[in-house]
Each structure stands twice: as structure tokens, then as C-alpha cells.
């Protein structure tokens, strides 16, 4: 993923493509999730973000957590017109979600470009946060916005950024997502805990009710010191250690610190998809 600073909208005279046309491919996505859904307590039952039309038949790519376990999806275009949609797929590994408009979208699709071609310092456009399209200098789609982050540039200043998932990692899995609703390969282990970096340490910020971490007695506020006997200090490092342990279902040994005491626990991982409501079209 890449962090893209939030800036003012570029001026048309500075661009080689039709900015208004490109932005019209981006639609508002509003979803309703059942209160009984596993993700309802974490992500809420009402979610709002964006998606990008990538095919004339109404296929839209967005960020997956907007549509995970969605019961109802509404798309609203830049003219204020609304239509229903269904979730087609959600890939846990990349975070991409695919949804299909059920009504006609009189909009031009945005062509997928190459995210590998984006260079540091390059001028790009992204209208908003969750699910928004990152538009390259040639007017093609280079990525999908994931979440709002603040990047510290000094002790007193920070810049607002959009975490973006590169579009290149969607292309190899597109056919599988459209056919099966998910990628056909072994699932990564899921622990059901939310972890954050705090002052050069990893802290458990939340645990899923009834999930693997909670069943293993992992608690909010625990410090994660190691995975599989190897120390971890960064979130990316922790995930790599967890994923390297094996497929979903494997036991994940964690070393924790709680109230000054060192604890060794084993979390029996699961396939997260097994706990989610499946996409409606598969």
C-alpha cells in the first residue's frame, strides 16, 4: 500500500485528460449491514465510501470493508441518481471488493492503468477516502483508497494521507473473484484481533467477540512482544510472522506483556471468510 497526501483538486488546464469525465466514474457507495453480522460491531451497520466503475456493464471496484456482509448496497452517481447493487467478491488478502450495479449507470468507466508506473512526487488525483480512485497523470485508475491516515512530518506538523491499494494486484485475481467470489488458494490465518503501533510497541486495540484471540484470552491493552518465538515491533512484521506460520487453522504462538507479566498464549487461527456472510451473487 502507498500513502498519498490529500491536496487540493488539480486544475483541468494542468492535465492531459478530461478530469470531469474521469471523476464521473467514481460513485458514492452506501451499505447496510445486519446487526447480526460478525463485522457489525467493529465496522458498524451503516458504511459510506466510494467505488469506481471499471466496466460498462456496471462492475465497480471498491475497498472491501465497505461491502463486507452488506445486506443492502446503494450507488449514487455525481448527478444524484441512485441504484441498487450486489456484492460480487471480497478478497481478504488485498482488501479489494467488487460490486455489480443492478440498474443502468449512464457513466463512462475508468480504464485500469499500471500502479507500478506511479513515481514518488507525481501529481495524482483522489477525490476522497474509503474506496476512492487514485487517478494517474494519464487519467487511468492506479489504485483504490483504503483509509485515512496522518503522516507525521515533524513533531508539530502532520499531513493527511489516503492509504491506497495498488490496482496492479487486482488484475491477476480478477477472473477468480468474478467467477467464485474469492481467490481459490489457501486462506491466511485470522486471529480476530485489531493491533496498532504505539510508541514503538504493538498493542491490542480490540478483539472480535467470540473470535480466536478472545477465546485464547488475548485482551485489549496487551502488548505483543513476539510471534512464534521471534520478537516483533512493527505491524507489518507481525503479520508476516503470523502468515509465515501456516494456513488458516494453524495455532499461532504469541508472547504478550500484560500488567508487567510476560505471557505465552497460542491462538487457534481460523479462515475469516467462514465467519462472514458470503457475497450474494455466489
pLDDT 10s digits, 219-263? 999 999 999 999 999 888 999 999 999 999 999 999 999 999 999
Q: Within a 13 Å sphere around the CA of 170, how many CA atoms are in the beta-carbon half?
A: 26
DSSP 108: P
Q: In the structure, what pLDDT confidence band is assigned to residue 79 with cuts at 50, 70 and 90?
A: confident
To the nearest whole number, what is the mean pLDDT of the chain?
86
Mean pLDDT over 96-120 rounds to 91
Number of domains in the chain: 2
The pLDDT value recorded for residue 148 is 61
DSSP bridge pairs for 52: 26, 61
Retrieve residue 27's grid coordinates. Answer: 460513485
Which residue, 234, 236, 230, 226, is CA-closest to 257? Answer: 226
Its sign, for the CA torsion 237, 133, 98, 277, is: positive
- Running DSSP on this structure, what letter comes out for residue 128? S
Tell me the pTM.
0.75
**CA gap 126, 162 in Å, rounded:** 8
Q: Which residue has the higher pLDDT, 171 or 78?
A: 171
104 or 42: which leads in pLDDT: 104
**Contact predicate 212/269, CB 8 Å:** yes
Among 98-102, 181-185, 251-255, the least confident range: 181-185
Residue 56: give the domain boundaries: 1-185
The reply to whether 136 and 181 lie within a common domain is yes
Q: Which three cell numbers stand for residue 278?
A: 458470503
The pLDDT confidence band at residue 277, using thresholds 50, 70 and 90, is low
Domain identity same for 199 and 142: no
Domain of 219, CATH number, reads 2.30.42.10
Per the CB < 8 A criterion, the answer to whether 281 and 100 are in contact is yes
In a domain, 280, yes or no: no
Amino acid at each position: 500500500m502507498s500513502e498519498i497526501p490529500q491536496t487540493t483538486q488539480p486544475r483541468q488546464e494542468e492535465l492531459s485528460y478530461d478530469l470531469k469525465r474521469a471523476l464521473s466514474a467514481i460513485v458514492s457507495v452506501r451499505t447496510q449491514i445486519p446487526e447480526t453480522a460478525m463485522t457489525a460491531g467493529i465496522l458498524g451497520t451503516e458504511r459510506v465510501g466510494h467505488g469506481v466503475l471499471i466496466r460498462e456493464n456496471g462492475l465497480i471496484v471498491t475497498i472491501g470493508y465497505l461491502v463486507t456482509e452488506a445486506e443492502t448496497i446503494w450507488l449514487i452517481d455525481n448527478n444524484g441518481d441512485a441504484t441498487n447493487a450486489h456484492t460480487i467478491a471480497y478478497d481478504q488478502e488485498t482488501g479489494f471488493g467488487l460490486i455489480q450495479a443492478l440498474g443502468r449507470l449512464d457513466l463512462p468507466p475508468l480504464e485500469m492503468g499500471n500502479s507500478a508506473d506511479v513515481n514518488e512526487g507525481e501529481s495524482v488525483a483522489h477525490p476522497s477516502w474509503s474506496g476512492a480512485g487514485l487517478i494517474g497523470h494519464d487519467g487511468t485508475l492506479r489504485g483504490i483508497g483504503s483509509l485515512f491516515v496522518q503522516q507525521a512530518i515533524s513533531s508539530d506538523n502532520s499531513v493527511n494521507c489516503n492509504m491506497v491499494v495498488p490496482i496492479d494486484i487486482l488484475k491477476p485475481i480478477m477472473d477468480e473473484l468474478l467467477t467464485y467470489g474469492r481467490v481459490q488458494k489457501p486462506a491466511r490465518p485470522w486471529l480476530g484481533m485489531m493491533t496498532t503501533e504505539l510508541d514503538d510497541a504493538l498493542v491490542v486495540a480490540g478483539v472480535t467477540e467470540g473470535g480466536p484471540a478472545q477465546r485464547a484470552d488475548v485482551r485489549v491493552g496487551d502488548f505483543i512482544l513476539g510471534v512464534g518465538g521471534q520478537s516483533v515491533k512493527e505491524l507489518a512484521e507481525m503479520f508476516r510472522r503470523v502468515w509465515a506460520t501456516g494456513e488458516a487453522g494453524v495455532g499461532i504462538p504469541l508472547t504478550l506483556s500484560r500488567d508487567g507479566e510476560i505471557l505465552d498464549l497460542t491462538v487457534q487461527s481460523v479462515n475469516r471468510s467462514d465467519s462472514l456472510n458470503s457475497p450474494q451473487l455466489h
